Structure 1
Amino acid sequence: MKKINFIDIFCGAGGLSFSFKNRKHDLKLAVDIDKNSIETLKKNFPLIKDKIVNDDIKKIIKNTKYNKFKNKIDLLMGGPPCQGFSTANRQNILNDPRNDLYKYFLEFAKIIKPKFILIENVIGIKNKAKDILNKLENLNYLGDFRVLQASDFGIPQNRKRVFFFAVQKKYNAKHKIKKFFSLLDNFKIDCRQSVLEDALYNLRSLKSKKIKNDRFNEYYESGLNVEKIKHYKSNSYLKNINNNKKIKYIYNHKARYNNPRDIEIFSKLPQGENSTHSSIKNIMPYKSRNNIFKDKYYKLDNKKVSKTITSHMKFDCNMYIHPTQSRGLTPREAARIQSFPDDYFFEGTISQCYAQIGNAVPPLLSKYLCMAIEQIND
């Protein structure tokens, strides 16, 4: 297998980079403006800390020291912050400054001229697909895109994201693009389907934290940031995301604070039901606006895939109620649903951890993206 030299812009906590690194490819540079994400990446890839940079893409493209990568990079990849295109965004999407961040990504591509380009984003980016493909064409690339569903690749989550893939025209681009997406279709056939209970398997039961805004103390009953495991039990999904490694510690398995009313709602709501269910009619605080807030509360169903893990969890986890415990999901549970291995540690407050996890590309999906690129990287 030919080694891939790659750069990850808007790298976040490293979901996209993880499998490329894990498969022994060479990360030359990872950049993100979020300090906590960068600290997470450095924590999990300590041997390449000097290649992980906390900076703004607008400054990166003006820094001539990165010109050294020109014509020396096989793959430039990344996920420009996507909230401006999110269908869940209730703000003025047209004027959101984040809408233009993909242009800076392409500007960096123009500078370093990688062989391949991979861009991940939310479904809303399809509105800009023609512009992105035209800009790639002007840079002498041929590109295409697909919507990939995470659950098709054995990830227990309903998560649809757009992936653009482009190849410099001189590298038999049309053939490689066709083969890349064909390989991904083939991988899906062999993937074992997983559901929520596969991801939550054998994590210790917790209760909500009892003290609000208590950021500095930990309590065993509500979970610990680092907990040693005496007898780790696994299943096929966990063996897959952990690459069959022996797990000695569970990280970031901490429940956040919930008020008594929410805990009562969590306990009464059946799995798979939302705010409109009759079981919580008498205590539902938003029942007069059910048409707006029907998903204000949602209890996940153990036998189905999870709803999309998003950065909204940093505000509350009321839309991500644990199926059998009266609390929201912990960062570790969200990370498992995203297919991060159990020994992947997230730096920052609990809210910052949720944001990093929700914004990430699932590592198990990145593995298949990596395998497809390996097979066309001749």
Structure 2
Amino acid sequence: RRCLKLVDLFAGCGGISLGVEEAARQRGQRLDVRLVSEIDDRAATAYRANLNLDSARMRGDVTELFGRGRGEPSELEARTRRAVGNKVDMLVGGPPCQGHSTLNNHTRGDDPKNALYLVMARAAEVLQPTSVLIENVPAVERDANGVVDRARRRLEEAGYWVDTAIVDMHKIGVPQTRKRHVLLASRRGKPNVREAVADALCPGRDIAWAFTRMQPPDDSLFRGAAKLSPRNLERVTVMMSRKLHDLPAMLRPACQAGFHKYKSMYGRLRFDQPAQTITTGFGSPGQGRYFHPDQPRALTAHEAARLQFFPDWFDFECMPHRTAFATAIGNAVPPKLGFVLARHLLDL
């Protein structure tokens, strides 16, 4: 079978790559991952284990592969290009988004890491892939240094057609209200993000759908929930006894007394609705609406992985503790998004 040659930067545990692999499989192609960059060793381990990646093709810091200049490739970039080989079909990546996040009140929109978005454009200039997929949070459009517009101009100058849009994950079947900014670029034809989403519309899936036929929680790190503090146990017990899904004001911490914008914090999920955005805080009720719908506990890592659209066979067991599970799963790109966008790019 023909190979689809892929480079994945800022890869995390492999959510985009997993979606690309399925899109390629449906076209009778085999995924050939030429290069992966992921600075988190634990997420990188999960990527290697689940996508059968040769360790020699895994790298850490992306700045050891590509510079931030323009023009002819540097010696460093030339070595990267030789290692990858000729004819890359697809370059994908989800650069760090924390600097753009609306939850970040310190450096929002003007974080030095935000410039890493432009590494994707530089990688395209050096590797010259047929198509490019870049994922980030919607707030990336308001970056103080205009990284999206700058990346778009550079890609167009390099011979790509480019399109950008915000994608509502719930519309493509992911059971959460997550929204993401997407940039697609191609040398084969003009991509259309909205058209890609329209081709993948499916009925809104809820938490009941995501938790169907799940193994019950146990004492393992993956399928077990973190122990609640006495105060949080009191909070969820009161909500369940009163059939509430929002925490009453009298049980909120002092920082949320009176008027506040944190209605979802300490909230209880509903089976008949999608989850809120799954973040690295899914195991901590104080970081969002992460109490289980009908059990007095927070979400397990397994439940969070289901809500992120990871199949049950995807192995997270290499994670040594709950923080590692939370980071890998909460920072992941739902594979369904990778599948929908890769399928569109391959059909151009």
- The TM-score, its normalising length taken from structure 1, stands at 0.78
1:152-301 pair list within 5 angstroms: 152-168=171-187, 171=188, 173-174=189-190, 177-178=191-192, 181-188=194-201, 191-206=202-217, 220=218, 223-225=219-221, 252-269=222-239, 273-275=245-247, 277=248, 281-286=249-254, 288-301=257-270
User: Which AA in structure 2 matches 1:146?
Assistant: A
On the 8 A contact 1:267/1:325 being kept in 2, the answer is no
The partner residue of 2:115 within 80, 94, 100 is 100
**Matching of residue 38 in structure 1 with residue 44 in structure 2:** yes
Distance 1:163 1:28 in 2: 23
Match of 2:103 among 72, 88, 92: 88
Structure 2 counterpart SS, 1:77: strand
Aligned mates of 1:94, 1:151 — CA distance in 2: 26
2-structure distance, mates of 1:37, 1:373:
26
After superposition, the C-alpha distances for 1:76-126 in whole angstroms (9 at most, x for unaligned) are: 011001111112211122441211111122212111111111100100112
| TM superposition shift of 1:350 | 0.9
Q: 2:272 aligns with which of 279, 285, 303?
A: 303
Can you list the C-alpha shifts for 1:62-82, whole angstroms capped at 9, x where unaligned?
Answer: 354321236510110110011
The aligned residue for residue 65 of structure 1 is 79
Name the SS of the counterpart of 2:199 in structure 1: helix
Match of 2:58 in 1: 53
* Runs of 5+ consecutive residues of structure 2 not aligned to the other structure: 67-75
**Cα 1:111–1:15, aligned 2, differ >3 Å: closer, same or farther?**
same
Identify the residue that residue 120 of structure 1 maps to in structure 2.
135
Is this contact kept in 2: 1:298–1:318, CA < 8 A? no
Contact (CA 8 Å) 2:172, 2:197: kept in 1 or not?
no
Q: Report how many aligned residue pairs link the two structures.
A: 322
Q: Which moved more, 1:30-39 or 1:306-315?
A: 306-315
Shift of 1:317: 6.0
Could you tell me how far apart the structure 1 residues matched to 2:330 and 2:200 are? Answer: 24
Distance across 2 between alignment mates of 1:51 and 1:356: 21
SS in 2 for 1:147: strand
Q: 1:42 to 1:71 in 2, by over 3 A?
A: closer
- Percent identity, please: 28
- Secondary structure at the counterpart of residue 93 of structure 1: coil
Structure 1's 328 and 368: CA in aligned 2 closer, same or farther, altered over 3 A? same
Specify the code of the residue in structure 1 equivalent to 2:156.
E
- The amino acid of 1:37's aligned partner reads A
Report the equivalent of 1:238: none
1:314 and 1:196, CA in 2 relative to 1: closer, same or farther beyond 3 A?
A: closer
What's the counterpart of residue 334 of structure 1? 304
Asked if the contact 1:136–1:166 (Cα under 8 Å) also holds between the matched residues in 2, the reply is yes
Residues in 2 aligned to 1:141 and 1:15: alpha-carbon distance in whole angstroms: 25
Q: Aligned partners of 1:202, 1:18: CA distance in 2, in Å?
A: 22
SS in 2 for 1:165: strand
Number of the residue aligned with 2:71:
none
Q: Which runs of 5+ in 1 are unaligned?
A: 207-219, 226-251
The structure carrying a bigger helix percent of its residues is 1
Contact 1:67 1:111 in 2 (8 A): yes
2:11 aligned partner: 11
The whole-number CA distance in structure 2 between the counterparts of 1:340 and 1:296 is 25
**Is 2:344 the counterpart of 1:372?**
yes
2:149 counterpart SS class: helix
Give the aligned residue type for 2:39.
I
Kindly indicate whether the alpha-carbon contact (under 8 Å) linking 1:7 and 1:73 is maintained by their aligned counterparts in 2: yes
Distance 1:204 1:3, change over 3 A: closer
TM-score under structure 2 normalisation? 0.85
Rounded to whole Å, the distance in 2 between the matches of 1:5 and 1:262 is: 48
